[in-house]
Structure 1
Amino acid sequence: MEQEVIKKKSRGESREDDEQEKWVHDSSLDHRGRVPLRASTGVWKASLFIISIEFSERLSYFGIATNLISYLTRVMHQDLKTAAKNVNYWSGVTTIMPLLGGFLADAYAGRFPMVLLSSILYLKGLSLLTMAQFIPSLKPCHHPGICTHPTKTHEVVFFLAMYLISLGTGGHKPCLESFGADQFDDDHPEERKQKMSYFNWWNFALCCGLLLGVTLIVYVQDFVGWGVANLILTVTMAITIIIFYWGRRFYRYRVPEGSPLTPMLQVLVVAVRKRNVECPSNPALLYEVAKSQKAQGRLLCHTNNLSFLDKAAVIEGNEDLLADKQPNPWRLATVTKVEETKLIINIIPIWLTSLTFGLCMAQTSTFFVKQSSTMNRNIGNNFVIPPASIHTLSAIGMIICIAAYEKILVPALRKATGNERGIRILQRIGIGMVFPVIAMTIAALVERKRLREVEREIVRVERVGYLSMSVFWLAPQFIIFGIGDVFTLVGLQEYFYDQVPDSMRSFGIALYLSVIGLGNFLSSFLISVVDHVTKKGGTSWFGKDLNKSRLDNFYWLLVVLSGLNLCMYVLVAKRYKYKSVQRNVIGGDC
């Protein structure tokens, strides 16, 4: 009799496993609003469509962003300081806007519709940039040979197009990456491992877009024409939008759940209201809904940090907990909602200590590119590297490092540590934060050498032109930044997707992007402060002429700031508590 019971139980578990293998029960839906069939939706078959449009967007972004300072100084005749600030402002807005786009997608629109709408806005911005180069009345100058200032019409159209691209990026970037990660089921062991690889290969595609953007597109901009380059970007974006839409039947979709900020506000209000209530010593006595009652999302395990918020889940005698009636969320919160609130509070210190990394990265698209424009960029007798193409070295370093990390380092670390990621996410980010300290140190030393060459070759002999010093002196700092990106940037993407509540994953990716965006704003602010202070001392570090500036001193300042920030990050990361998901019903495996 006992053996018969065991057999029946075994058959029941087998049927449950078959059901789990056949269908995806992670609250996602297919394009017809049904539970997705695992074999025909999601994973790499869906992600490849998503990655294709990311490649196109990054091709456009880096093709524009890396050479933007050259356009502003050479075509629109802005001085170095003004051009650097305009680049930083645009880059900042472009990477801050995703906070709005991510929130709207998570709360109301959904990720797929937001990506589609944003891509169309992006396409309109690229189309407007293209028209500004071909339509005579919109061109920068009516008489290019004697032009010292662009026409007002061109300025308006140009910046309108650029900020239309920023608006498109606001919905595109946070939703596309999180939509791609949604194609993998966290509760399926094999798909969960594939998701960890997804972030690495996502950045591989990103780097391929960067590589072509800073080589092919920048070369066309400098030696063929800005209009032709913009036309290539416009056509490429239009094609990939069609590809992305065509793959819709393979995708797994998440239904927006309303504002994710409301439940957090409810937890804070209830915790304050119950501030005098004693928490039970046994966390199992705190309120949580049954697994069968929870329509969407996963249950989270109780943690001991920020214990004040646990008061929101304390059950008082007058609270109605009937199975068919949910309690008022402004009077009683679940453990899961409390833990989701803790997650958001816990990521704030990590986000703050990541901003200095974004500050250092801002230099690669402004001052690093401007330095390269003053140096010897000849390869052989006939070919000259465009200044912005020096970014190629960063992309190559990142591509090689991603492949080595995914294929060599991760398998070895999995065996050594027993962790399915190889190393913890915050350890990966922390390792990457060492690289900006090294890169900015090298950048300061190289810039000091460049200034000595300026003194010897230009100032003393009163010569005009490029230095004999090769642009490849900048190679180490770009390559080191590329390697650091594999650890810090990829780690931040995974962290802000994984460690936020399930309902806020687009907003989480937006938080990652805001690290880079605020880094650009901080760079502009720091440039203004340093310029103001050094002017009082006699000579500004940021002159109109790069050869009379002192960027080496500015780089040393960034070395100090990065080193201090790294120490703060280590202290914060050591105290961090990771998200813990219940795999079974309440009281099950945490």
Structure 2
Amino acid sequence: MERSAGGVSRNGEHGKPNKKSKAKGGWNAAIFIIFVETTLRFAFYGLAGNLIVYLTTELGQGVAEAAKNVNTWVGISFLFPIFGALVADSFMGRFKTIILSCVIYLVGTILLTLSVSIVPTHYREPVFFTGLYILAIGEGAHLPCVQTFAADQFDESSLEEKKAKSSFFNWWFLGIVFGASAAILIVIYVEDRVGWTAGFSITSVAIALSLGVFLVGINRYREQIPVGSPITKMVQVFVAAARKWRIKESYGVYDKNEGFATLLSTDQFRYFLLIKYYRYLNNATLLDDVDITSTCRRKWRLCSVNQVEEVKLVIRLIPIWLSCLMFSAAMVQIHTFFTKQASTMTRSIGAHFILPPAFLQSLVGLAIFISVSVYDLVFVPFARKITGHPSGITVLQRIGVGLFLSILCMVISALIESKRISTAKYCNLMDTPKVAVPIRVWWLLPQHVISGIAEMFTIVGLQEIFYDQMPEGMRSFGAAAYMSVIGVGSFINNIIISIVQTISSKHGDKWLIDNLNRAHLDYFYWVMAGLGTLNLCIYIWISRGFVYKKVHFNSTEDEEMEL
């Protein structure tokens, strides 16, 4: 396995790749990593997709409480990647972190399997939640590394591999969707019809298989060497700028390239063109009397131009991150209230076969599968001819389309829920929640399909922007940042549920109660649609002022690129 630092091969002089490095990476390596991610998504969604059913039926939790528990677990699972990224970038590297995450993941799934099989009933709940959050730790170590590690297999200095990487994000997400959909069709069906022990056992086998396959491809990978904590380098800039906020006279700027996200596997080196925003941080690069008289650079009072520009790149992404949180808060309904809605509706096919409540989640995956294929093979070539943009539309436009579709999803969900409640009222089933309402579960199909298309636009867009627009040495952290959108969005959904419950209880009955026929889930969806609309307006305002990262290549052919 080839190892490199900041994208620079150890075996190449000045970042120039040797013949050995050319034989590694590319799709021949990425395909192994995609398989690993597919099997881990299979295991994760085999648990997440049916978790609310287990909590309400086996552990006896109420609908609102179970939804909060699911959101909390999902939130922590997608916030832990921040710590996983720091470990990978600072100490272990992405390859070793992925191996460790698979082992932790396996321990968690085994513990979950034991909790529903041989563990005594009175110990079942604490053991179950212990295994659940051990799995969350494994998820946190795995998520920020595996996608970045796969994308690292494509050399940005090669035009052919750069084009391949552009499609990689679409097909990567497709692999995730395939694993999640297979989990809904196989694992959740087994959990519903055979038993929880058999279902959780399948997830343990999947994790063991993914670890084995990942190790098989070890000689094909390009590996990045840890470059140090990105958080430390960011804090150094803020501290250095603060210490010189009153500087009146300087002796120039510190413009030394230090190898942190500045070198590539090529005979060129590149540096970021100066960003005109956040100029206050430029003080960190100014040389004062103390710097001139020091025998060595003090990292907490003097930073290079490139280090400061890297911090600016990260700051630019914060408003985009904030404006996507409502998207995640809306989409988490797929694993909670969408599933509970399905459990109250007619799900029979023929005389003997009954669909599991979470079955429609597989149609989210099918919608993503079809939309990714159409987007990559039809829409992008067509839009490219019109706009001239290599990707057809910009990544921010792509994210914005997904935000709009998430609002449309909530509106349709509210209308369909109103239809379900009116049917229950017409059939005098308002106080008999265990009797299926005579309305087919297929009425929920539109909201699931729109959810899938929305995720194809926004989630893939977030993956791309938090990879391409981050400094190279912080790309694991960038992956963690985009995943934390899902985590924080889950917690925001919890907050919204709590606020809705508190306000509605002061003006009558709570909107979200165990008997969905008497609940007002449709009102809740309208609230989510309203908040999403407000959020979309803010996003459009933010995106209009966003400036994409520009990189300058210093070579015989002076070249500037916008990434």
TM-score above 0.5, yes or no: yes
Q: Residue 504 and residue 77 in structure 1: after superposition, are their counterparts in 2 closer, same or farther (change >3 A)?
A: same
Q: Residue 320 and residue 421 in structure 1: after superposition, are their counterparts in 2 closer, same or farther (change >3 A)?
A: farther
Q: Residue 463 and residue 203 in structure 1: after superposition, are their counterparts in 2 closer, same or farther (change >3 A)?
A: closer
Offset of residue 421 of structure 1? 2.4
Check if 1:313 corresponds to 2:294. no
Residue deviations 1:513-544, cap 9 Å, x none? Answer: 11111111111111111111111111100112
Tell me, in whole angstroms, the C-alpha distance in 1 between the residues paired with 2:553 and 2:385.
24
Match of 2:66 in 1: 83
Match of 1:26 in 2: 7
Check if 1:114 corresponds to 2:97. yes
Aligned sequence identity (%): 39
Contact 1:279-1:311 at 8 Å conserved across structures: no
Match of 1:541 in 2: 511
Pairing of 1:295-374 with structure 2 (within 5 A): 296=263, 298-316=270-288, 319-320=291-292, 327-374=297-344
Offset of residue 44 of structure 1? 0.6
- Count how many residue pairs are aligned between Structure 1 and Structure 2: 547
Match of 1:187 in 2: 157
Tell me, in whole angstroms, the C-alpha distance in 2 between the residues paired with 1:115 and 1:85.
29
Match of 1:289 in 2: 256
Q: Residue 482 and residue 57 in structure 1: after superposition, are their counterparts in 2 closer, same or farther (change >3 A)?
A: same
Offset of residue 292 of structure 1? 8.7
Pairing of 1:377-526 with structure 2 (within 5 A): 377-459=347-429, 465-526=435-496
Tell me, in whole angstroms, the C-alpha distance in 1 between the residues paired with 2:59 and 2:271.
55
Offset of residue 368 of structure 1? 0.4
Name the amino acid aligned to 1:81.
A
TM-score computed with the length of structure 1 as normaliser: 0.88
Structure 1 counterpart of 2:132, from 157, 162, 168: 162
Q: Secondary structure at the match of 1:469?
A: strand
Contact 1:193-1:420 at 8 Å conserved across structures: no
Offset of residue 274 of structure 1? 3.1
Tell me, in whole angstroms, the C-alpha distance in 2 between the residues paired with 1:254 and 1:89.
33
Structure 1 counterpart of 2:77, from 94, 101, 105: 94
Match of 1:134 in 2: 117
Name the amino acid aligned to 1:73.
T
Unaligned 5+ runs, structure 2: 265-269
Match of 1:530 in 2: 500
- Name the larger-Rg structure: 1
Q: Residue 428 and residue 181 in structure 1: after superposition, are their counterparts in 2 closer, same or farther (change >3 A)?
A: same
Q: Secondary structure at the match of 2:20?
A: coil
Pairing of 1:575-590 with structure 2 (within 5 A): 575-584=545-554, 588-590=558-560
Check if 1:45 corresponds to 2:28. yes
Q: Residue 532 and residue 569 in structure 1: after superposition, are their counterparts in 2 closer, same or farther (change >3 A)?
A: same
Offset of residue 338 of structure 1? 1.1
Offset of residue 293 of structure 1? 10
Offset of residue 237 of structure 1? 1.4
Name the amino acid aligned to 1:112.
F
Offset of residue 352 of structure 1? 0.7
Q: Residue 384 and residue 338 in structure 1: after superposition, are their counterparts in 2 closer, same or farther (change >3 A)?
A: same
Structure in which a larger fraction of residues adopt strand: 2
Tell me, in whole angstroms, the C-alpha distance in 1 between the residues paired with 2:217 and 2:458.
31
Tell me, in whole angstroms, the C-alpha distance in 2 between the residues paired with 1:92 and 1:463.
30
Tell me, in whole angstroms, the C-alpha distance in 2 between the residues paired with 1:272 and 1:39.
44
Tell me, in whole angstroms, the C-alpha distance in 2 between the residues paired with 1:133 and 1:419.
52
RMSD: 2.6
Match of 1:233 in 2: 203
Q: Secondary structure at the match of 1:576?
A: coil
Contact 2:5-2:227 at 8 Å conserved across structures: no
Unaligned 5+ runs, structure 1: 1-22, 140-150
Q: Secondary structure at the match of 2:554?
A: coil
Contact 2:511-2:520 at 8 Å conserved across structures: yes
Offset of residue 295 of structure 1? 7.7
Match of 1:145 in 2: none
Q: Residue 342 and residue 291 in structure 1: after superposition, are their counterparts in 2 closer, same or farther (change >3 A)?
A: closer
